[in-house]
Amino acid sequence: MTSPTDPNRVPDIDDWNRLLEGKVAVVTGGGADGIGGAVCELFAAHGATVEFAEIDPARAQATVDAISRAGGTATSHVLDVSTEDGVAALKSTVLERHGGIDVLVNNVGDYRPLVRFHESGPESWESMYRVNLWHVYAVTQAFLNSMIERGGGSVVSIHSVEGLRGFPGEPVYASMKAAVSHFSTCLAAGYGRQGIRANGIGVDLTQSRQVDYVSGYEEHEHLWEAWSPAGRLGWPMDQARVALFLASDMSAYVTGHNIPVDGGTKAGGGWFYSPEAGRFLNRPKTL
């Protein structure tokens, strides 16, 4: 290892169009029409060999097809990452095939079924924990040693802007997301010297099969100005581009952070632009 003050420690980027050339990337929840699917497609387009876990066989196949049509390399593993057997199967197949990995994107998560806290109980807490947090520990633990052995890697965990601000709707889901965010921060602090970077993405307002922001809102498109400082809906590719930045050497000196990719909703929280009034209101009388 060269001196810590050697300027050559900034990694070279040989091809800015192939930011993950030669890297092995594992993505959870890589099915089509979601954030994970867009991450798989963008990573493959940037030269990564993508190994993704997905519970829904049809969505898995659609991602594989899209990537092979574009000339990339991806393999789906149809399994449930919220179970020990699922994680063990993913780990053994990927490590047998590649020996180790360079990038992990923890993407699986779900707010459904949304149970109000005063009506909730151990069963709903357990299911929120399994699908939003447990697998983040399990899958990261499954691959961390192999990343360290390879000299380092990047762990990107997709959570929610609701883990970075108060979410009145469902505190159990939001606190799981907050835990994913803090897990990234702690992982970065603990394993940075072994070459591991860990960062998170706090998602909001992104069209996917899980969260449909379009259907039923066709008559209210003009209100996007009120709903988001960016003034538009987000798409899985908006998230995937930030994941690519965090996965690649573009962010070689970024670790332990959580980036809201939310069109500015966290920044603008509490204030609503009223197209009708032509100004910001914190107590809108109508929406």
Ligand X SMILES: NC(=O)c1ccc[n+]([C@@H]2O[C@H](COP(=O)([O-])OP(=O)(O)OC[C@H]3O[C@@H](n4cnc5c(N)ncnc54)[C@H](O)[C@@H]3O)[C@@H](O)[C@H]2O)c1
- Active-site residue 191, yes or no? no
Residues 6+ apart with CB under 8 A from 142: 87, 88, 90, 91
Handedness of CA 162, 165, 170, 171 (dihedral sign): positive
Residue 47 or 263 having the CB closest to ligand X: 263
Cis status, amide bond into 113, omega within 30 of 0:
yes
SS3 track for 146-211: HHHHCCCEEEEEEEEHHHCCCCCCCHHHHHHHHHHHHHHHHHHHHHHHHCEEEEEEEECCECCCCC
Residue 237 or 250 having the CB closest to ligand X: 237
Q: Which residue is nearest to ligand X (CB)?
A: 109
**Binder of ligand X out of 19, 24, 34, 48 (CB under 6 A):** 34
By CB under 6 A, tell whether 157 contacts ligand X. Answer: no
Residue 117 or 235 having the CB closest to ligand X: 235
**Binder of ligand X out of 26, 81, 142, 198 (CB under 6 A):** 81
By CB under 6 A, tell whether 91 contacts ligand X. Answer: no
**Binder of ligand X out of 23, 26, 27, 29 (CB under 6 A):** 29
Task: Name which of 233, 212, 211 is nearest 222 in CA terms.
Answer: 233
Catalytic residue IDs: 173
Site residues (CB under 6 A) for ligand X?
28-29, 31, 33-36, 53-56, 59, 80-82, 107-110, 131, 158, 160, 203-206, 208-211
